[in-house]
Amino acid sequence: MSDGIKALSGDLHLECANLGTRVPPPMSKTVYVVAGEVSGDTHGAELMAALGPQEFRGLGGPAMRKIGGEHLQNWVDEAAVVGVWEVLRRYSWFKKRFADTLAEIIAWKPDLLLLIDYPGFNLRLAKQVKAKLPETKIVHYVAPQVWAWNQKRIPQIAASHDLMLCLFPFEVEIFENAGLRAVCPGHPLVDELEAQRSHLARAQKLVGLFPGSRMKEVSRLFPLMLEVVKLVRSHHPDLAFITAASSKKIQRLMEDAVQAEQMEDVVKIQLGESQKLMQEATIGMVASGTATLEAAYYGMPYCLVYQVAWPTYLMARQLVDLEHIGLINILAKEELVPEFIQGEANVYEVSTWLREMIQKPEKRQHLTQRLLKTASSLGGPGVHERAAQEILTLLSE
């Protein structure tokens, strides 16, 4: 990701749509819904519940099946693949699932095709359904980030969709400029984060380590973080360090790394509760991803660290045109938090920043205020309800 942000227009600090006044009359419609990942299953289930008593069919996960019933297939364990190679390796499987899904939709002729994220599959599906069933309304929840990796696809998306529900306020103008109705009901993360808000005072000597949730990124970033801890602690022996493991498997990986460095008495490893830790730590190191938004929402000062294999990084640089990779920096249109990427993600660079921030509480407080202000553009609680209201409005027209 790098400098396509320069092409973005509009004020990123506009509030997401306040949609609380339009309440369409109750209705019962046929809705075919598709989600292909665990996060999409979560968002899809919440949105389906907010839509009320519709007749659902489609593809999703256990949470969506619980809402939609027997006609909603649980396929996320098979569908949630990561990386181009994995998709290519299972090309014939995806091709068959796509054909079967399209045939089912055409036969059923639903009032609405509701697509939850999963752009590789869902954007192709939308194009085919719009061509064959022009009367079916097509809504995409969680706008594909084509503004980052392929802006040429935006007019194609506009031609095949009736409504785009965006997570970020700046996305609305991008899609509307292409002629597509777009609304930002807010980011569904907000409801989750508000539910986990603890109102605890920050521990002034606590540093949080957030190396990610996937094995590869943790195995790459956690050893770096441990080296940073060694150096910082040599100057500040009164600091405490805690990390949150996303699973027991990740926890074992972290424990092995800590034992190898003989740091069992230095770094505490807890299972889960990363959001609670973000509210307790005075500062942190965070792997690139959704956790950077979570940390910003809670106002925890942090730096972003990012390392992948060099071929992967170089390929991504060719595909993605953004100045920053951190979502909070993209929202702010400036580098609020430092991004230590690839070679810059080293012990010297990260520990130098961390030590300076530890020694200057006024700089931490200033960063906290700026993070909170920027994160406020993600909207308030009730995101799924506002998104459902927009969909029901579309269906009632």
Are residues 280 and 176 part of one domain?
A: no
4, part of any domain = no
pLDDT score at 321: 60
Instruction: Look at the chain and report how many structural domains it folds into.
Output: 2
Are residues 364 and 258 part of one domain?
A: yes
pLDDT score at 313: 55
Are residues 334 and 346 part of one domain?
A: yes
Nearest to 147 by CA among 129, 168, 163: 168
The token pair at 223 is: 């050893």
Are residues 247 and 150 part of one domain?
A: no
DSSP 3-state of 306: strand
107, part of any domain = yes
142, part of any domain = yes
| Full domain range(s) for residue 232 | 194-378
Q: How many CB atoms lie within 10 A of CB 211?
A: 28
How many CA within 13 A on the CB side of residue 70? 0
6, part of any domain = no
Are residues 329 and 237 part of one domain?
A: yes
Is residue 175 within 8 Å of 166, Cβ to Cβ?
A: yes
Are residues 218 and 170 part of one domain?
A: no
CB within 8 Å of 259: residues ≥ 6 apart: none
DSSP 3-state of 333: coil
Provide the CATH number for the domain around residue 199.
3.40.50.2000
Query: Model pTM?
Result: 0.76
CB within 8 Å of 35: residues ≥ 6 apart: 41, 43, 44, 59, 60, 61, 64, 76, 116, 117, 118
Q: How far apart are CA 354 and CA 103, in angstroms?
A: 55
2, part of any domain = no
353, part of any domain = yes
Are residues 61 and 41 part of one domain?
A: yes
Backbone angles phi, psi at 30, to 5 degrees: -95, 125
pLDDT score at 20: 45
222, part of any domain = yes
Are residues 338 and 285 part of one domain?
A: yes
Are residues 357 and 210 part of one domain?
A: yes
For the chain, how many residues are written? 397
366, part of any domain = yes
**DSSP summary character for residue 272:** S
Are residues 242 and 127 part of one domain?
A: no
| pLDDT averages per 10-residue partition of the chain, 397 residues | 33 44 62 90 94 94 93 82 62 87 97 94 96 97 75 88 93 92 92 87 93 86 95 95 92 95 95 94 92 94 83 58 75 90 86 95 95 91 94 93
Are residues 333 and 385 part of one domain?
A: no
The token pair at 334 is: 């400036």
pLDDT score at 127: 96
Are residues 182 and 239 part of one domain?
A: no
